[in-house]
Chains A and B, each alone.
Chain A
Amino acid sequence: MSMQESFVRFKARYWPDHLLGEILSKRWTETAIPVIVLVLVAFALSRAIDGFLSPAALSDTARQAGEVGFVVLGMALVVVVGGIDLSVGSMFALCDFCALYCLNVLNWPVPAVIVATIVCGALLGAVNGFLIGYLRLRAFITTLITLIIYRSAYDLLLFDNSTKIASALPDFPSWDFIGMGDVAGVPSVAIVYLVVALFGHVFMTRMRPGWHITAIGGSRRSAYNSGIAVRRTIALCYVASGVMTSIGALFFAARLGTVGGDVGVGLEVTVLTATVLGGITLGGGNGSVAKALAGTLIVLLVTNGLTTLSVSGGVNRMVLAGILLLAAMIDIRWLKNRSRIISKVYVSPTYHFLPPPPPTEVGSGGPFEQNDKLRDVTLIGLGRIEAPEDVILDRHDNLYAGSRHGDIIRFLAPDYEKMEVYAHIGGQPLGMAFDRNDNLYCCIGGMGLYRITPDRRIEKATDETNRSLYSVNDDSRLRLADDLDIADDGRIFFSEATVRYEMHEWPVDGLEARGNGRIICYDPNKNTTYTALRGLKFPNGICIASDGQSILFAETFGCSIKRFWFDGPKKGKVEVVMDNLPGYPDNINLASDGNYWLALVGMRSPALDLAWRMPGFRKRMGKRLPVDEWLFPNINTGCVVKFNEKGEILESFWDLKGINHPMITSMREHRGYLYLGGISNNRIGRYKLEHADPDFVQYDRRWGRSS
C-alpha cells in the first residue's frame, strides 16, 4: 500500500466527512443563519456604541421588540400560509386608537379595554381573512387596499377624537404595568411575548392546525386535495394576524398613550423585513417562531443602533432597504439551491479496501467455479408478482413473497398456481421469518418491522430504536430494515442496511461504502428495541447460527459474512466467518444438512473495487455527474452458494445465461427444493436439490413439529 493510499485511508477513517451534509440537511440550519447574523450585528453595534448592551438599553429594546415582535408573529403566520399582510401598520394604528379611546374617552376598565382592542384587531383581520380566504383575492393587493382603507379610517377618527383622547389622563396602575412594568427587570411585554412565542412554537410544530397551515403554504392544491379546510384556515390566519397586531398595539398604547398621525406608518415594511430576514420564505410553507424572533431582533438592533448613531432618516431607509433586498436574495438563492448543495455534499465516500477476489471463471477450479445448475429452474408466478426480495414457506408448504406494491403474496400449495394477497402492508416487504407461533415477521423498507398474525392481522412490531448519542442524523427511526431471524427465546434480530439513505437510494450507500448499517434487536416479550451492533457496511442477510447464541450476518458491501454472539460466553463478540467474497452477499438461510445458503446478489467488478480505494474520485463523481451515471455496484448476475460455520464454501449454483431466473437476492430450502427470490424479478424460481432431506422444514427442524 502506497504512502498516498495510507494517507487517504487515514483521512477517510478520522475525518468526519459525512457530517457536513447531515448538518446541512437539518432544518434548524435554516434558522442558524439569521441567528449568526443577529450575533454579528449585536457584536458590531456593541463595539460601535457605548452601553448598547447595558441592562437599561436592553430592557428598552425588549419592550420595542415585544411590540413589534407580536406583529411579526402575525405576519409570519400569514406568510407561512402563503400570503402576506400589508395592512398591519394601519391595523396597528386603529387598535392603538381603539384602546386609548375606550380607556380615555369611554373610561372603560382595563380588562374591558384589552378585550375590546383584541376584538377590534380580530375584526379587522377577519375582513382580510374573508376576502383572501373565502373570496380568494390576492393577498398582496387586498391587504394593500385594506391598508389604505384602515389608514384613512384612522385619519378620519383621529381628526374627530384626538383632542378628546389627549386631554384625558386616566390613572390605572394595571394599565401602567402593561406599559412600563417589569417582573425582576424583565419588561411585562417581553414576558407575555415569550409565553405567546412558546405557545406559537408548540402550535406550529406539534399541533394539527399548525401543520395544516404549513401544508397549505407548501402546496395549496395538495392541502385541499388531502382534505384540509383551506379557505377557513387561511381566513383564520389573517384573523390571528389581526389579533397579534392588536396585542402589540395594546402594549404600545399603554407605553406611550398617544395617538398621532404617524402611528404604525411604514410598520409593514419593518415587519416584512424582520420576517424575511429571519428566513421565513415568501410564498409560504416554511417558517418558525424562532426565525420570526431572530428577524425581529436583527431589525430592531439595526434601526435602534442607527438611530443611536444619529444617522439621518434617509440613510436609515437605505440600510433597511438594503437589508431587505439582501435577505430576499439570499433567501431565494438558498431555497433554490439548498437541495442541490445538500445532494452534492451529502454523499461522502470513504476508503474501502478489498483484496483481489477469488476466481469464478469456468475452469479456474475453486469453490466459486461457474456452472449452469440453475439454468432450468421452474418458475412460479411468472409475470404475476413483482420484486419478491425474500421468499418463505410455512409449515403447510404455502409460499410467501413480498411485492413492490406493498403486499405479501401467498402462493398456495401444492402447485403454487393459485395466488392471493396475504396481507397488504403498504411498504415493500423485504426479509421474512416465521416465529414459533406462526406469526410472520417482516422487514418493511422505510417502515420498520411488522408482524402478520396467523389470522392475517397486521401489527407494527417496531419502527424505532434508541437514538445514538453522537449521530447528527436522527437515527431513531428505521429507514431500511432489511432481513431478520428469530432466536429461540423469541428475540428478533434484524438488520438495518443504512441509516443515511432511504430505501430507493440504497445503491448510493454502496458508492459511499461507509459503515452506515446496524443490527437491531426487538424483544416481543418486553416490547423493547435496542441497537445491538452498528457501523456495518450494509448489513443484509441474518441467520441464527447452530449454537442458538449467535447470528451469522452478511455485510453486502463489505463482501463478508460475520458472526455475532448475543448470548453465552462470547456475548458481544464479532468474528469474521468469510471475507473477500467474489460478490455482494445478500440473504442467509439454513440448509437441511446444517450448513447455510447464501445468495450473492451481484458480482464484484475490478472497476468498483479500485474506485472504493479512491474516495476523492468517487466524491468528484458524485458532484459532477448525474446520479444515473455514477459507478454503482453491479447487480446483474449472481449465484447461490452453500457454506458452513467454519467459513468454507461447499457448493455453488450459477446460471450462465441469466434468462430464466435473472437475479437472486434470497433462497429458501423446503422439502428438497430451493426457492429463489430476486428483488428485480417478476417470478420466483424453484430448484430441485439432489441429496437433500425431502422432509426438511426450517421451523420443524429448529423448534420441533407443532400441532
Chain B
Amino acid sequence: MTLKRIGQQEIVLGIFVVLFVAFALFLPGFATTANMLTLLQNVAVLGILGLAMALVVIGRGIDISLIAALAVPPGLVLQMVQDGHSLPVSIAAALALALVFGLLNGWLIAYAEVPSLFTTLATGLFLAGLGQAALFKLDVVQWSEGMSGFERLGQGSLLGIPTPIIAFALVCVVVALLLRQTRIGAYIYAIGDNPFGARVTGIPSRPIIVLQYVLAALIGCFAGLVLASSVNSMPTRIFNSTMIYDVILVVVLGGIGLSGGRGGVFNVIIGTLLIGTMLNGMTIMDVSYSGQNLIKGVILLIAVIIDSFLNPRNEETAQQGDI
C-alpha cells in the first residue's frame, strides 16, 4: 500500500527537487532570482501548451497539431496587422481560425473516428502548409507598428513577475477549474478512463471530445500569442522543430498517463518545472542543442519506461488498434 502511494508524480517531484538542489549547489548563477524568473519565463509557453495537451491526454487522445495551432493563428495576427488590419479584427480572425481548426480535429476524431494521433499529425501538417502557402509571406512574421502595446503580454511584468508566468498561472487556474469543478471536467476524466463505459452511461462523449480539441487549439493559440509577443515575431518554422516532443515530455513526465483518465494541472506544473530546470541547467552548462535533445530524449524514454511499470497497460481492456 505504501509503495502504491509513490506514484510517478512523487518520483518526478523528487527528481526535480534533487536536480534543483544539485544545480543550485554546483552551477554558479543558477539559484538567483533573475535566473529563476528567466527559467519560468522560458518554460511558460511550454507549460501553457502542456495544459492544452493535458486536457486532450486525460481524455485518452493526443494532439500533435498543437505546434501548428501555436504558430499559424498568432502568425496570422501579425500578418494581418502588417497588412493594415486592426488588432482586434486580427485577433478575432486568429481565434476563429483556431476554433475552426479545433472543430475539424474534434470532428475527425469523435465523429469520423480517425485515431487522434493520425488526425492531428495530418491536420497539423495541413495547417502548417496552409500558413506557408497562403497566409504568410516570410517564414518569420515580423512585428509591426499596429501591434504596439501588445508586446506587454510577453515582455511586461506585474508586481515584478513577468507576464508569461502570469499567463501560465492564469491558464493553470482556468484548466484546473474546468477539470475539477465542472461537469465537463468530470466527463473528460470519465471518457479518458473508459470511453465505451462513458458512452454507455449517457455522457455525450462525442461533443465533449470535440470540445477538448477546440479548447486545446484555443489554448495553443494563446500560447502562440504569448510567444510572439515575447520575441516580437512569429517564427513559423517552429513547426519543424521538436517542440511537440517537449510538450509530450512535460505531460508524460508530470505523470499524466497516455492511457487517459489520470492526472491534472499539478502534474503539468511539475513536469514543466522539471523540464525548465533541466533545460536551464543544460544551457548554463553550455550543452549543444542536439545534445540537449539527446538528453531530453533519454530522460523521456526512462520516464515512459517507469510509467509503463507503474501504470501497466491493461491488456484485457486494451483496444484493438490502440497504439
- A→B interface (CB under 8 Å): 82-84, 131, 135-142, 144-149, 151-153, 155-156, 159, 218-221, 265, 269, 272, 276, 281-285, 312-322, 324-325, 328-329, 332-333, 336
Q: Given the complex of chains A and B, what is the CA–CA distance between A317 and B123 in angstroms?
A: 10
Q: A148-B296, A316-B129 are in contact. Are A221 and B122 (CB under 8 A)?
A: no
Q: A141-B258, A317-B132, A325-B108 are in contact. Are A135 and B305 (CB under 8 A)?
A: yes
Whether B308 contacts A149 by the Cβ 8 Å rule is: no
Q: A282-B321, A318-B130 are in contact. Are A149 and B301 (CB under 8 A)?
A: yes
Whether B293 contacts A151 by the Cβ 8 Å rule is: yes
Measured CB to CB, the nearest residue on chain A to B104 is A325
Whether A152 contacts B323 by the Cβ 8 Å rule is: no
Whether B288 contacts A156 by the Cβ 8 Å rule is: yes
- Most chain B beta-carbon neighbours within 10 Å: one of A131, A156, A218, A328: A328
Whether A145 contacts B294 by the Cβ 8 Å rule is: no
Q: Given the complex of chains A and B, what is the CA–CA distance between A425 and B240 in angstroms?
A: 63
Top-7 shortest CB links A-B: A283-B321, A314-B133, A314-B132, A317-B129, A321-B126, A152-B293, A318-B129
Whether B308 contacts A282 by the Cβ 8 Å rule is: no
Tally inter-chain residue pairs, CB-CB below 8 A: 156
Our pick among B118, B125, B290, B308 for the contact of A152 (Cβ within 8 Å) is B290
A195 smallest CB distance to B (angstroms):
30
Other A-B contacts than A136-B308, A156-B294, A321-B123, 12 sampled, CB-CB below 8 A, are: A82-B323, A136-B312, A141-B248, A149-B293, A272-B121, A284-B321, A312-B132, A312-B133, A317-B126, A320-B129, A324-B122, A325-B108
Say yes or no for B22: interface residue by CB 8 A criterion. no
Whether A148 contacts B297 by the Cβ 8 Å rule is: yes
Whether A332 contacts B112 by the Cβ 8 Å rule is: yes
For A155, list chain B residues within 8 Å (CB).
289-290, 293
For B321, list chain A residues within 8 Å (CB).
82, 281-284
Q: Is the interface of A mostly helix, strand, loop or mixed?
A: helix
For A314, list chain B residues within 8 Å (CB).
128-134
Q: Given the complex of chains A and B, what is the CA–CA distance between A283 and B114 in angstroms?
A: 11
Q: Given the complex of chains A and B, what is the CA–CA distance between A138 and B301 in angstroms?
A: 11
A302 smallest CB distance to B (angstroms):
14
> Chain B 210-252 against A: per-residue CB contact (8 Å), 1 yes, 0 no?
0000000000000000000000000000001010010010001
For A131, list chain B residues within 8 Å (CB).
301, 305
Whether A149 contacts B132 by the Cβ 8 Å rule is: no
Q: Given the complex of chains A and B, what is the CA–CA distance between A328 and B321 in angstroms?
A: 13
For B133, list chain A residues within 8 Å (CB).
312-315, 317-318
B260 smallest CB distance to A (angstroms):
12
Our pick among A148, A220, A317 for the contact of B293 (Cβ within 8 Å) is A148
For A137, list chain B residues within 8 Å (CB).
304-305, 308
Q: Given the complex of chains A and B, what is the CA–CA distance between A564 and B315 in angstroms?
A: 58
Our pick among B114, B115, B131, B294 for the contact of A149 (Cβ within 8 Å) is B294
Q: Given the complex of chains A and B, what is the CA–CA distance between A230 and B108 in angstroms?
A: 32
Measured CB to CB, the nearest residue on chain A to B293 is A152
Whether B245 contacts A83 by the Cβ 8 Å rule is: no
For A219, list chain B residues within 8 Å (CB).
320
In the complex, chain B residues 93-142 whose Cβ is within 8 Å of any chain A Cβ? 108, 112-115, 117-119, 121-126, 128-134
Our pick among B132, B242, B323 for the contact of A283 (Cβ within 8 Å) is B323
Whether A136 contacts B117 by the Cβ 8 Å rule is: no
Our pick among A144, A149, A321, A329 for the contact of B112 (Cβ within 8 Å) is A329
**Chain A to chain B contacts (Cβ below 8 Å), 26 pairs:** A82-B321, A83-B323, A131-B301, A136-B308, A136-B313, A138-B308, A141-B252, A141-B304, A145-B304, A147-B245, A148-B300, A149-B294, A153-B294, A156-B294, A269-B125, A283-B323, A314-B129, A314-B132, A316-B129, A317-B125, A317-B133, A318-B133, A322-B122, A324-B122, A328-B114, A329-B114
Q: Given the complex of chains A and B, what is the CA–CA distance between A139 and B318 in angstroms?
A: 14
Q: Given the complex of chains A and B, what is the CA–CA distance between A39 and B125 in angstroms?
A: 26
Say yes or no for B291: interface residue by CB 8 A criterion. yes
For B300, list chain A residues within 8 Å (CB).
145, 148
Say yes or no for B298: interface residue by CB 8 A criterion. yes
- Most chain A beta-carbon neighbours within 10 Å: one of B112, B123, B289, B290: B290
Say yes or no for B322: interface residue by CB 8 A criterion. yes
Q: Given the complex of chains A and B, what is the CA–CA distance between A221 and B132 in angstroms?
A: 45
> Chain B 145-166 against A: per-residue CB contact (8 Å), 1 yes, 0 no?
0000000000000000000000
Our pick among B126, B129, B301, B315 for the contact of A220 (Cβ within 8 Å) is B315
For B258, list chain A residues within 8 Å (CB).
138, 141
Q: Given the complex of chains A and B, what is the CA–CA distance between A427 and B248 in angstroms?
A: 53
For B304, list chain A residues within 8 Å (CB).
137-138, 141-142, 145
For B125, list chain A residues within 8 Å (CB).
269, 317-318, 320-321, 324
